[in-house]
Structure 1
């Protein structure tokens, strides 16, 4: 892969994929989707990758108007958890996909785990995109991710909330209804596996999993200790995944203590830079 466009380049997954690919010498066109974190976090990320000669940033409108001839990665891992945002951009995404030439391109779609559930109640916007994907006659690599943790985890997620709570920066952490509490993967392990599948030329639907029991809860325990049980809702058994989606057990799983240490270190760097 020599060139790629990443929609959601400053999102958690998109940004990590971008850094990984830039390190491999891939030329990246980063499509920026505005969010409420733009004022600070986007600028920090922009400073990290903006100096790389292989990186160029374009707006969503520019991306819509540009004829695409590179591989496309669409990261909706966060957007589908913030439905107001996906509603804002959905029509533009579908129109762009309808007009793409897929003869020599790869399309990779990254989605949150709950969209892979067999009996999940989906919003209108979620259904609209998934139905579009089903009816188009193109090869797509669909990847469904559980909770991903590590540097730059969004503030809405329980582990990042816990760091804010422990430092007295926020109230008691709350688990969002969409957060996947049945498993967790470290960001670099997830990104590496995404790229392995992409480079292999495979298409299909894959649900990433650690292959370990209670990994999400183990991460929460590592952060909060005895407070964990007081804060967590009861976790039912892992819900049933759609049978058309293959479960992909990751070969590598970062040690929880090391992965959370890296998340903490980045958290404190940001806190220090914000003053």
Structure 2
């Protein structure tokens, strides 16, 4: 793999699930890492503080506990550290929670991303990378999802804020020449995962002998992506900062590179959708115990299937995520048993 374009990275959401794994990988690769995380109580703060404590054992890591939407917080970090790469992961996550508390998504996802863009405009990094989501594809029935396909039918407010982030970042890339890559995640799972995600909830319930809620009566599929594969994709993309093309004819077919800005969007997914019932079977196998199944109707804002076209990621980096669900689930269950001593 090429050597990093820089040695100092700023990671927002550094104590989150993905942020924690990304910081660990960057530190292992020799980067100095500055993190910022608000340690909000959307889920168990103890899990976030444990992740943060693990990272702080490395002298190359330092962190600030602050909301990214707080005026001046990011400006100070950019000015003090002048990061070469910025990976913006901080967000209010969750499709269903966005129905109950949409204002938190306005603050964290819209205002917070605006603060990141403003700070990057004042102190430009060599590459700005921002997290989006497969949820932006919404009601699209054209699968596998390709980055160049139309994505204007978001099904949740969470997805709408992420699509807005893509548009906001494009405008800053065009206006201020900021090399920017958006990456769309596909159902990330693995050790240290979020308690509001299906794998965590199912594992906990099965071990406790409680029923699990299975939406759309199990007729769903997801392109589950193991967290280490996702991080590998992000780290490789750091080295592929987009360059504004001279004209649209220079853009290769299938490349999402903007014709008017150094901006690109890239899927990071396993390219292998798994049926929900098969995912549950993998959890049962890893635990050695069957689930008590509570079949339910589809939840508002959800989609029946996701499936990534990861060809662009491979063309740009030579990498394709490949961890099998059975292996990734087994690693999560092993971590869960150890972490919670069950």
Say if 2:83 is the partner of 1:75.
Answer: no
Say if 2:22 is the partner of 1:17.
Answer: yes
Q: Is the contact made by 2:37 and 2:90 (CA closer than 8 Å) also made in structure 1?
A: no
Structure 2, gaps ≥5 residues long: 1-5, 139-150, 243-262
Instruction: Give, in whole Å, the separation in 2 of the partners of 1:229 and 1:58.
Output: 42
Q: Is the contact made by 1:206 and 1:246 (CA closer than 8 Å) also made in structure 2?
A: no
Q: Tell me how far 1:206 sits from its aligned partner.
A: 1.0
1:188 to 212, 228, 235: 228
Pairs aligned (count): 267
Say if 2:243 is the partner of 1:209.
Answer: no
1:100 to 97, 103, 120: 120
Q: For 1:1-275, what aligned pairs fall within 5 Å after superposition?
A: 1-36=6-41, 37=43, 39-60=45-66, 61=70, 63-66=73-76, 68=78, 69-70=82-83, 71-76=85-90, 79=93, 81=95, 82-83=97-98, 84=101, 85-89=104-108, 90-101=110-121, 103-117=124-138, 118=151, 119-121=153-155, 123=157, 125-126=161-162, 128-136=164-172, 137=174, 138-168=178-208, 171-174=211-214, 181-202=221-242, 204-214=264-274, 217-224=277-284, 231=295, 236=304, 238=306, 248=313, 251-272=320-341
Instruction: Give, in whole Å, the separation in 2 of the partners of 1:198 and 1:204.
Output: 12
Q: Tell me how far 1:104 sits from its aligned partner.
A: 4.4
TM value normalised by structure 1: 0.81
Instruction: Give, in whole Å, the separation in 2 of the partners of 1:28 and 1:110.
Output: 18
Q: Is the contact made by 1:205 and 1:246 (CA closer than 8 Å) also made in structure 2?
A: no
Instruction: Give, in whole Å, the separation in 1 of the partners of 2:50 and 2:106.
Output: 26
Give the SS at the match of 2:237.
Answer: helix
Structure 1 residues 168 and 128, CA, compared in 2 at 3 Å: closer, same or farther? same
Q: Is the contact made by 1:14 and 1:75 (CA closer than 8 Å) also made in structure 2?
A: yes
Q: Quick check: 112-121 or 40-49, which moved more?
A: 112-121
Q: Is the contact made by 2:226 and 2:323 (CA closer than 8 Å) also made in structure 1?
A: yes
Structure 1 residues 216 and 4, CA, compared in 2 at 3 Å: closer, same or farther? farther
Q: Is the contact made by 2:221 and 2:273 (CA closer than 8 Å) also made in structure 1?
A: no
Q: Is the contact made by 1:9 and 1:31 (CA closer than 8 Å) also made in structure 2?
A: yes
When Rg is computed on C-alpha atoms for both structures, the one with the higher figure is 2
TM value normalised by structure 2: 0.67
Structure 1, gaps ≥5 residues long: none
Structure 1 residues 197 and 96, CA, compared in 2 at 3 Å: closer, same or farther? closer
Instruction: Give, in whole Å, the separation in 2 of the partners of 1:228 and 1:186.
Output: 25
Q: Tell me how far 1:128 sits from its aligned partner.
A: 4.4
Q: State the Cα RMSD in Å.
A: 3.3
Q: Is the contact made by 1:31 and 1:63 (CA closer than 8 Å) also made in structure 2?
A: no
Structure 1 residues 237 and 254, CA, compared in 2 at 3 Å: closer, same or farther? closer
Instruction: Give, in whole Å, the separation in 2 of the partners of 1:143 and 1:135.
Output: 16
